[in-house]
Structure 1
C-alpha cells in the first residue's frame, strides 16, 4: 500500500512539474497553430458581453481582471482564462472579442459571450427555462463566424487554406442551459432530458464550422459542477452521503459525467463520418479533478470563493463578486474558485496545461 501511495505521489509531482512549465512548452506552437477561433460562454469570453451590456454584467466591475490586467476586461476571473493560456502557448496574441470591431483578427477571433447557451432562447422557453443574460446563443455566434469568414475568404478553397493551421475551440457551451434550469428549480430528471438536445445542437455547430474549412476542432466537456461553490451553496445538505471524497455533490457530478459521455459518443460518431477532419474531446472534467488534487496537496482553498460574501462557501448569488460590499481574498493565487462560479487565473493556468497535453497528441500535427 505504501509503495502504491508513493508511486501515485511521484506521478502527480511529475505531472505538476510539466504543468508548471506550460509557458515554456508551446505545444500549439510546435503544432504550427497560428490562428485560434473560439465559441463559448463565460469560461472563455474575453470581452463580448461587456460590449453588449456594459456594467450590467458583474464581470465588467472591479475586482475582475485586477491580478493581470489591473482592470476589468469582461473576463469572468481575476486575470487570464484558459483560452488566453492557449493563445500564449501558440505564440499568438490574446484573442480579441468579435465585438471589438477595431481589433486585429489575423490570429483568430473570440466569439464567446458570457451567459450564452447552446439552445436558442425560444427552445429554452419551450422547456420553461429563461435565458435572461444574453440572446447571443450558439447559433448567433455561428452567424458571427459566418460573417467573419465571408469577410476574409474569397471562396471555400481559400478558407480551407487560411484555416490550415487554425484550431477551433468549441466551448464550453451548453453548461448555462443546465445552470439556468437547475437554478430555476427544475428536478434533475427533467434537466437530464435536455442533454440529447443540447449535445445535438453542439454537434450541429461543429459540423457548421467544419463546413467553413475548420479541420482541427476541440470540443470541451463540462466541469464537475458539483464542486463549484454556486452549486454547493444552492444544493447544500447535511446528508454526508451526498458528497464524494472531494466534498463535491455526487448527483451533480454524475449529471456532468452523463453530458460528457453523450458528447464523447457524438464526437466519435462525427469523427467516423469525417475521417479527414480532427475533432477532439477536451476533458475539462478530469482537468478540474487534477486541479483539485494539486490544490489540496498544497494547502490551497478548494471550498470557498475568493471574491464573495456569506455562507459556508463565501458565495451569495444576489450579492456576487463585483457588487458593493463584497470582499475579495488577499491572495487569489491560493484559491481554486474566484467568484463561486468561475475560477482564478492560477486555476485556469493549471487546467490549460493539463488540457494542452491531453489534446496535443490528438491534433495530428505535422512537423
Structure 2
C-alpha cells in the first residue's frame, strides 16, 4: 500500500503554496446507428476487472467482490466498477481482461480491457504496465490481425488514470516545488497516449477526469469522514483544467466530428456526495471496508489468518468501498449522474 497520509499532506501543502457498482445493475444504454461494437479499456484500478496479479493486490482477497459476483475476481470494489457501467451504457458486454484473453478468446469480440490496478501514465511502484505499455499490447493485437480496420472504426477507447502518478511522485521524493511542472508533464503524456489511440484507428477516445482527491476516505479520515479536504481537491481541479484545455485543442482540429471526450468524474462524484439520499447512500464519505487500524487495510489478515478489517452492514448503501475506491452502489450513482451530461451522449453520435 502507498503512503497515502504523506500524499495528502503534501497535496495540502502544495495547494496552500500554489493555489492561495444500488445493487441492481440498471444502467440503460441507447442504440443508434453509430453505436460502438467494441470497447477497449486502459488505465488503473477504477477500470481494472481482473488484470492485476493476485500477489499484488487485495482485490483478489475477501471481502472484495462480495456484492458481485460473490467472490473476489480482481475488481477493486465489492462488485462492479466503472468499466462495467460504461459498457452497459453502450449495450456491450464488459470486455474481457487482457490477462484472460487466452482462456476465453470467444469473448474478445466485445473488445478487451488492458487496465491494471495501481498503474498510471508513467511508471509506478506496482510493477504493472503503464498506459503506454498497455497501448503497446493493444497495438500488437492489431498487428496480429485480431482486430481489423472495420472493428476499430466501430470502437471506443476508455482511458482512466485516477491518480497513481501523483501518489508515486509525491511518495518517492517528488518535491513540492516540482508539482506544477509534473502536472504539465503528466497531462502532456496522457494527451500523447490519447492521440496514439486515435491514430491506431479507434473512432472515439474517452478519458476520465480526476475524481476529487480530497473526498476520498483516506483524505476525509482526519475529519472523521465528515468533510472533503478542499486543499487536496485543488490538485484534481488543476489537472482537470489542463486536461480539458488539451483535449479541446485536439478537437479543434476536427470540429465537425470531435474524437476526444472527457468524462467529468470530479463533478459527478460531488453531485452524489452532496446529495447522497437521492441515490440511497448513507455516510457518503466513510468507507464500507477498512482496516481495524492504520497499519491494516480492507482484506488484510494477520499471520493467524484473523481478519484485521471491518465491513459495514450494507455495502449497497455505501458510496466508498475502501479508502480509495467507490463501491458498486457508488459507481452506479456516479454513472446515473453522468448520464445527464453532454459528454456521455457524444459517444453514441
1:353 corresponds to 2:339: no
* Distance in 2 between residues matched to 1:177 and 1:342, nearest whole Å: 16
User: For each residue in 1:72-127, what CA deviation from the matched residue of structure 2 results, as whole angstroms up to 9, or x when unmatched?
Assistant: 111000000111012222222221111112232101110100000111x3xxxxxx
Structure 1 equivalent of residue 17 of structure 2: none
Is contact 1:29–1:90 with CA below 8 Å preserved after alignment? no
1:61 matched to which residue of 2?
A: 61
Q: For structure 1, which runs of at least 5 residues remain unmatched after alignment?
A: 1-18, 122-130
1:134 aligned partner: 127
User: Residue 284 of structure 1 aligns with which residue?
Assistant: 265
Distance 1:28 1:288, change over 3 A: farther
Measure, in 2, the Cα distance between the counterparts of 1:20 and 1:97: 23
CA distance in 2, matches of 1:92, 1:25: 11
Change in Cα spacing, 1:56 to 1:192, as seen in structure 2 (3 Å) is: same
* Aligned equivalent of 1:293, options 261, 274, 299: 274
Aligned to 1:167: 156
Normalised TM-score (structure 2):
0.83
CA distance in 1, matches of 2:29, 2:274: 24
Separation in 2 of the partners of 1:116 and 1:61?
19
SS at match of 1:33: coil
Q: Quote the RMSD (CA, aligned, Å).
A: 2.6
- Cα distance, 1:351 vs structure 2: 1.1
Cross-structure match for 2:50: 47
SS at match of 1:99: helix
Matched, 1:363 2:347: yes
2:296 matched to 1:303?
no
* Matching residue of 1:341: 324
> What residue is the counterpart of 1:250 in the other structure?
230
Question: Which structure has the highest helix share of the two?
Answer: 1
Contact in 2 for aligned 1:216/1:279 (Cα 8 Å): yes
2:3 is matched with which residue? none
Cα 1:24–1:303, aligned 2, differ >3 Å: closer, same or farther? closer
* Structure 1 residue 221 displacement after superposition: 0.5
Cα 1:206/1:229, change in 2 over 3 Å: same
Report the equivalent of 1:7.
none
Q: Specify every segment of 5 or more residues in structure 2 that has no aligned partner in the other structure, as ranges.
A: 1-21, 302-307
- When residues 28 and 332 of structure 1 are mapped into structure 2, their CA distance, relative to the original with a 3 A threshold, is farther
SS of the residue corresponding to residue 46 of structure 1 reads: coil
State the number of aligned residues. 316
Matched, 1:177 2:165: yes
Higher relative contact order (CA 8 A, sep 6+): 2
| Residue 55 to residue 330, structure 1, CA distance change in 2 (3 Å) | farther
Distance 1:205 1:24, change over 3 A: closer
The structural deviation recorded for 1:174 is 5.6
Structure 1 contact 20–350 (Cα < 8 Å) conserved = no
Is the 8 Å Cα contact of residues 29 and 89 (structure 1) preserved in structure 2? Answer: no
Q: Could you state the TM-score of these two structures normalised by the residue count of structure 1? A: 0.79
